[in-house]
Chains A and B, each alone.
Chain A
Amino acid sequence: MALQSLDIKARSATTTPPPDVRARGAVPVAKLIDISKCIGCKACQVACMEWNDLRDEVGTNAGTYDNPRDLTAQSWTVMRFSEVEVEQDRLEWLIRKDGCMHCADPGCLKACPAPGAIVQYANGIVDFHEEHCIGCGYCITGCPFNIPRISQKDSKAYKCTLCSDRVAIGLEPACIKTCPTGALVFGTKDDMVLHAEGRIADLKERGYSHAALYDPKGVGGTHVMYVLQHGDKPELYANLPRDPSISPLVSLWKGVTKPLMSFGLGLAVFAGFFHYVTAGPKEVEEEEKTD
């Protein structure tokens, strides 16, 4: 019997190991975003807001199709439109659905100091539990893709959950279901890699010789992957990082500084005890005692 619908693989700021016996049976899931099929209709944005009960403020036109202009605590996915001259006299309109990549090695979870505010499920979903969030913003520092956003309303961090509530009962995420062109596909990670291979072969036949799957190894692979027509130049897609990795600040803080701090704390306690044993308790004058 488990006390939750999805098994936990990792939990922020927690030292005890999670229940692990059934974890091997969990099937890793993945969302595949085929950028070559996306028409930028933003149905995924609407479906995301509808399912997750989010209603962002109506923004203003900034001269591009990006709307909202950036991710917010209320907008967990946005389409980023890039007009790129890929080569001389060849303009392409590249549309990338931005949002949480659900890294296998999540920088946000590593950086998070609040126990249980960020969890990674055995199926690969990285989820924020806002009731445990302290609003420190370390997850933003830890994220190689600049995804989490702190809400102005409640000072807690929010991002895409990969619709963990839907996936937990066997449904696909809301964005996947609504996508009219089939640019978004959902399934096991193995199946999604296989599906991507077919798409890449097709793109190569059509003249995109550098078409590739974006599943960066620097963060252990991701559970949200892209099929890129120009796989050799991910920067073209609204600065998608070529080789993302967790900020060294996180490993410095969590890796070196934390044990040092703990050691310093222990040392202070030990020194106090040693001083008590050798020097004895502080003598107290009679008149001070009668305060």
Chain B
Amino acid sequence: MQVTRRQFFRICAAGVGSSSLAALGFAPGEALAEVRAFKLARTTETRNTCPYCSVGCGLLMYSLGDNAKNTRGKIIHVEGDPDHPVNRGTLCPKGAGLLDFVNSPHRLQYPQYRAPGSKEWTRISWDDAFSRIARLMKDDRDKHFIAKNDKGETVNRWLSTGFLAASASSNETGYLTYKVVRSMGILGFDNQARV
């Protein structure tokens, strides 16, 4: 197609004119708009208890995927559990920010060991960690266990080791923890729930 110089100017002028009219609001826009898609629609919902304090608020954790064999879940949202009698869906600022706590790059994910005097933490296996803890507990208990007091009464105390338990435990976990700790004679027994 042959376009002369003057025709070219006319086309340009017509284009600028019509697009200006549209820009000034003469072209009707469609009165439609959509909200952001609901991001939890087909996520997997899992109940849990907030790990922070002794109030023990109920949580709903939402993770990617539907738990099918080939999916790998990842928590993408945490909010309060409305059916939980403690918090009925509410959460404090710490609980409301749990997503970044769960996915924190600084989170400890495996046992580490620091030798006496050393500055270095080294990663050890769970088996090594449990074996070492059991060994040290047994050695200490064998050495310091008090079966009878000065009057000759049976007391079965182990005073040189203490035990600190978690707050977000169920009644059943709490019962078992108590039985394990007391059956070894430990008296120094407290709970993170007092924080």
Cross-interface CB contact of A18 among B17, B31, B36, B100, cutoff 8 Å: B31
Residues of A at the B interface (CB closer than 8 Å) are 3-6, 8, 11, 13-19, 41-43, 45-47, 49-51, 113, 115-116, 119, 127, 129, 161, 164-166, 168-169, 174, 177-180, 182, 258, 261-262, 265, 269, 284, 289, 291
A168 with B25: in contact, given A41-B92, A178-B96 (CB under 8 Å)? no
Asked if A50 and B36 sit within 8 Å, CB to CB, the answer is: no
Interface presence of B106 (CB below 8 A): no
Which B residues touch A291, using CB under 8 A?
5
A164 with B35: in contact, given A178-B96, A180-B90 (CB under 8 Å)? yes
Which B residues touch A129, using CB under 8 A?
33
Interface presence of B84 (CB below 8 A): no
Least CB distance from A174 to B in Å reads 7
Binds A, one of B74-82, B159-167, B170-178: B74-82
A262 with B80: in contact, given A8-B33, A177-B89, A178-B91 (CB under 8 Å)? no
Which B residues touch A168, using CB under 8 A?
35, 38
Which B residues touch A41, using CB under 8 A?
92-93
Asked if A42 and B93 sit within 8 Å, CB to CB, the answer is: yes
Asked if B78 and A3 sit within 8 Å, CB to CB, the answer is: no
Least CB distance from A129 to B in Å reads 6
Q: In the docked arrangement, what's the CA distance between A177 and B28, Å?
A: 39
Q: In the docked arrangement, what's the CA distance between A261 and B24, Å?
A: 9
Asked if B38 and A262 sit within 8 Å, CB to CB, the answer is: no
Q: Could you name 29 residue pairs across A and B whose Cβ atoms are closer than 8 Å?
A: A3-B34, A4-B32, A6-B35, A8-B33, A11-B33, A14-B31, A16-B30, A18-B31, A43-B95, A46-B93, A47-B79, A47-B96, A50-B78, A50-B97, A113-B25, A119-B33, A127-B33, A129-B33, A161-B35, A164-B36, A165-B37, A177-B79, A177-B80, A178-B80, A178-B89, A179-B90, A258-B25, A262-B24, A265-B20
Least CB distance from A62 to B in Å reads 19
Interface size on B, residues (CB 8 A): 36
Which B residues touch A182, using CB under 8 A?
90
Interface presence of B6 (CB below 8 A): yes
Proximity string of chain B (152-188) to chain A, C-beta cutoff 8 Å, 1 when within and 0 when not: 0000000000000000000000000000000000000
Whose C-beta in chain A lies nearest to the C-beta of B31?
Answer: A18
Least CB distance from B77 to A in Å reads 7
A4 with B35: in contact, given A50-B78, A177-B90, A180-B87 (CB under 8 Å)? yes
Which A residues touch B6, using CB under 8 A?
284, 289
Q: In the docked arrangement, what's the CA distance between A50 and B38, Å?
A: 14
Asked if B25 and A15 sit within 8 Å, CB to CB, the answer is: yes
Which B residues touch A42, using CB under 8 A?
93
Q: In the docked arrangement, what's the CA distance between A42 and B6, Å?
A: 66
Which B residues touch A269, using CB under 8 A?
17
